[in-house]
Amino acid sequence: MNWHAVRSIYLFEMARTRRTLLQSVLAPVITTTLYFVVFGSAIGARIPEVEGVSYGAFIVPGLIMLNLLTQSVSNASFGIFFPKFSRTIYELLSAPVSHFEIVLSYVGAAATKAILLSLIILVTATFFVPLRIEHPLWMVGFLLLTAVSFSLLGFILGIWADNFEKLQLVPLLIITPLTFLGGSFYSIDMLPAGWRTVSLLNPVVYLVSGFRWSFYGTADVGVGVSLAMTLLFLAVFAGVARWMLRTGYRLKP
């Protein structure tokens, strides 16, 4: 294992966050605060509780998951896209760095940034609503697995995209809508039976449900199913990323 190379790429990616601090950290925190004001106050006044939890507190895991998914994908996709766009990726591919070390560096940095932002949002939420975390180890586990899984997805998108428009296509048109429709702001048990069945086809439902269970002990689906889906995402995305690097898909002329 070439730890020097892994550390260099990782620190370079983390330094990019410091250079864009307002965009990377402050903007998502302000957006989340607005969600609390709009959803927590306006809608929360009409929906006092959901499954025995105040509505403002109920949406916190969903808001964290929304930011975790979007930030993981965006950070990883931009991280690998820019070297490809500037053609400096060829220097990395010709260096004595394995495919695993490349993925570990970029995905590790993207996941770290997404997790740190999620923790900042969690702390911010405590100023608005009373929170409790019944299963802290499970919460950390879901946070880590989800961040790594969707950072791998972002890594895949960064290699696949050949322009900036495609880079934003999946996060804006797929990830964000699926998260909004995945029970982030409501329980799917509140839906009619037919719509609840349709919602179960949304993979984000299982991520949000498992993460919310770690907070309040209530879930729309079994926590074991949520964990299995998260591990499935991790395995599939890791396999695709490995295949792309091994074959040079959209990396080698």
Q: What is the reported pTM?
A: 0.92
Q: What is the DSSP string of the chain?
A: --HHHHHHHHHHHHHHHHHTHIIIIIHHHHHHHHHIIIIIIIITTT--EETTEEHHHHTHHHHHHHHHHHHHHHHHHHHHHHHHHTTTHHHHHHSS--HHHHHHHHHHHHHHHHHHHHHHHHHHHTTTS----S-HHHHHHHHHHHHHHHHHHHHHHHHH-SSHHHHHHHIIIIIHHHHHTTTSSS-GGGS-HHHHHHHTT-HHHHHHHHHHHHHHS--SS-HHHHHHHHHHHHHHHHHHHHHHHHHTTTT--
Confidence of residue 164 (pLDDT cuts 50, 70, 90): confident
pLDDT of residue 40: 65
- Residue among 175, 158, 164 at smallest CA distance from 251: 158
Rounded mean pLDDT of the chain?
Answer: 88
Neighbour tally for 241: CB within 10 Å:
25
| Encoded tokens for 15 | 């330094």
- pLDDT score at 73: 94
Q: Which residues pair with 49 in a beta bridge?
A: 54
For the chain, the structural domain boundaries read 3-247
Assigned token pair, 45 = 């006044």
Give per-residue pLDDT as tens, 86-123. 888 888 888 888 889 999 999 999 999 999 999 988 98
In the predicted model, is pLDDT for residue 37 greater than 80? no
pLDDT tens per residue across span 206-232: 999 999 999 999 899 999 999 999 999
| Each residue's pLDDT tens digit, 229-248 | 999 999 999 999 999 989 98
Looking at residue 1, its pLDDT comes to 82
Q: How far apart (Å, rounded) are the C-alpha atoms in residues 237 and 145?
A: 12
Q: What is the distance between the alpha carbons of residues 34 and 109, in angstroms, rounded to a whole number?
A: 27
**Token pair for residue 94?**
């010709």
